[in-house]
Amino acid sequence: MLETTLCGIPFKNPLIAASGVFGFGAEYGELYDVSIWGGLCTKGLTLQPKSGNSGYRIYETASGVMNSIGLQNPGVEAFVNTELPRMKKLNTRIIANLGGHSTDDYLLGIEKLDRTDVDMIELNISCPNVKSGGMAFGLQAKSAGEIVGLCRERCHKPFMVKLSPNAENIVDVALACENAGADALSLVNTFQAMAIDVKKRKPVFENTYAGLSGAAIKPLALRMVHAVCQKVSIPVVGIGGIRTAEDVIEFMMAGATAVQIGAALFSNPLLPIQMIDGLQQLMEQEKISDLSEIRGIIK
């Protein structure tokens, strides 16, 4: 009922843990069998290890979560040697999320990941929390198309590009990525946002701005997914404040093939279990026998 195919790869369901909220899959394994997920995106990887940002990294806003982790990760090499063998023992699809500061970072990183047995690569050109590179590649169609084209040449795996809602025009960026050879798009990453500590008269975050996720951004993300789905013909994975089965169906009706769940896990760590049940119930109620029946019905 929930089986989904993304870039030719079968997923047991359309629920994918978003990059950054799920580490490398081990932590939540103490709470439930994480193989229940359709897929897991790794923490954002970079060629070299990164220790991340100092100062506050997490801040709650009304129905939202701001973060400024700064891509703390052990580096591609350590991921491949240490984390990936553990992840591959899970019965779920593994999607390696790759970020970078420079074109060379991306290209060397993708060459290394291409030689592993990850199921898919998600190119992160949308991280708002690093000083150089990151989101800068994803803000304009031209720079996005260039980096995606170069990565595509070096990548033989299914290859998805994660888009920033902070782009000048996300539909143009999406089209540029499609034209440059992306197999799929995932959107949206976090919205660049701000919070101020009134008592200290300073921004809460050392980088001044941070990324906003959570229920607060869902309607915005849904609009962007819908707008992109009107224009591209490659599959789109919807992301942004999804926390109920109904949210999932909304993104599917807007055109998404699958979805990623992020901040909602902070409110309910068992969410995927409940969401799979909830999706099946909702589909029965609404007389949907396969998700393809409703995908993109909103034009």
Partner 1 sequence: MEYFQTKVINHYQVGKGIFVMELVANGSRCRAGQFFMLKTADASRPLMRPISIYQATDNSVSFMYRISGQGTEELSHLKNNDTIFILGPLGNGFPCEKVSGRIALIGGGIGIAPLWFTAETLLKNTENEVDVYLGYRDELFALDHFVILDTDFFIATEYGDEGYHGLITDLFEPDHYDAVFACGPEPMMKAVFTMCKEVRTPLWISAERRMACGVGACLGCAFPTLNGVKRVCKDGPVFADKELCWES
Residue 285 in tokens:
């109620």
Of 63 and 281, which CB lies nearer to partner 1 in the complex structure?
63
Q: Kindly name the residue from 7, 127, 155, 177 that is annotated as catalytic.
A: 127
Select from 5-13, 53-61, 82-90, 282-290 the region that touches partner 1 (CB under 8 A). Answer: 53-61
Select from 103-111, 116-124, 158-166, 257-265 the region that touches partner 1 (CB under 8 A). Answer: 257-265
CA distances in angstroms from 188 to 35, 135, 193, 256, listed in the order given: 24, 12, 14, 12
Can residue 30 be called a binding residue for partner 1 (CB under 8 A)?
A: yes
Of 142 and 202, which CB lies nearer to partner 1 in the complex structure?
202
Question: In the complex, what is the shortest distance from the CB of residue 57 to partner 1, in angstroms, rounded to a whole number?
Answer: 5
Half-sphere exposure at residue 196, Cβ-oriented, CA atoms within 13 angstroms: 4
Question: In the complex, what is the shortest distance from the CB of residue 100 to partner 1, in angstroms, rounded to a whole number?
Answer: 18
CA dist., res. 112 & res. 28, Å (int) = 27
Select from 3-11, 19-27, 176-184, 285-293 the region that touches partner 1 (CB under 8 A). Answer: 19-27
Select from 109-117, 217-225, 262-270, 276-284 the region that touches partner 1 (CB under 8 A). Answer: 262-270
Instruction: Give yes or no for a contact between 256 and 221, defined as CB atoms under 8 angstroms apart.
Output: no
- Catalytic residue list contains 127: yes
Of 16 and 184, which CB lies nearer to partner 1 in the complex structure?
16
Task: Pick the binder of partner 1 from 51, 233, 285, 289 (CB under 8 A).
Answer: 51
| Residues numbered 211-250 forming contacts with partner 1, rule: CB under 8 A | 214-215
Can residue 281 be called a binding residue for partner 1 (CB under 8 A)?
A: no
CA dist., res. 122 & res. 162, Å (int) = 6
Task: Pick the binder of partner 1 from 3, 27, 246, 284 (CB under 8 A).
Answer: 27
Can residue 69 be called a binding residue for partner 1 (CB under 8 A)?
A: yes
Select from 15-23, 115-123, 134-142, 162-170 the region that touches partner 1 (CB under 8 A). Answer: 15-23
Task: Pick the binder of partner 1 from 56, 77, 111, 298 (CB under 8 A).
Answer: 56
Question: In the complex, what is the shortest distance from the CB of residue 196 to partner 1, in angstroms, rounded to a whole number?
Answer: 15
Instruction: Give yes or no for a contact between 75 and 51, defined as CB atoms under 8 angstroms apart.
Output: no
Task: Pick the binder of partner 1 from 6, 16, 45, 65 (CB under 8 A).
Answer: 65
Task: Pick the binder of partner 1 from 263, 276, 283, 291 (CB under 8 A).
Answer: 263
Give Rg (Cα) of the chain: 18
Residues recognised as catalytic: 127
Residues that bind partner 1 in the complex, under the rule CB under 8 A: 20-23, 27-28, 30-31, 43, 51-54, 56-60, 62-65, 67, 69, 72, 214-215, 263-270
